[in-house]
Amino acid sequence: WTPVTQGEVMQLQRTFTFKNFRQALAFTNLVGELAESEGHHPEILTEWGKTTVTWWTHKINGLHRNDFICAAKTDALFEEQSG
């Protein structure tokens, strides 16, 4: 995960790579389920062969402990899907 700054907002971002579009979209859906279950929603950019996930907390315009937890859970989903 790389800390990125959009405007003045610090965010956590990671790009996950896949063999094709379908697998990237499948991962987007896994992250979407995580987001719904956490009640915390990242930005998810889906492209051919890659998905970029960006976590931050809108309410504080920056990073909260929960964002790091969600980033770790996102990694775990990637491990599962990549198997």
Site of interaction with a copy of itself (CB under 8 A): 21-22, 25, 28-29, 32, 35-36, 41, 43-48
Smallest distance, a copy of itself to C-beta of residue 11, A? 12
Task: Identify which of 19, 8, 83, 76 has the alpha carbon closest to the alpha carbon of residue 48.
Answer: 19
Smallest distance, a copy of itself to C-beta of residue 73, A? 16
The radius of gyration computed from the CA coordinates of the chain, to the nearest angstrom, equals: 12
Cβ-based nearer residue to a copy of itself, 47 or 80: 47
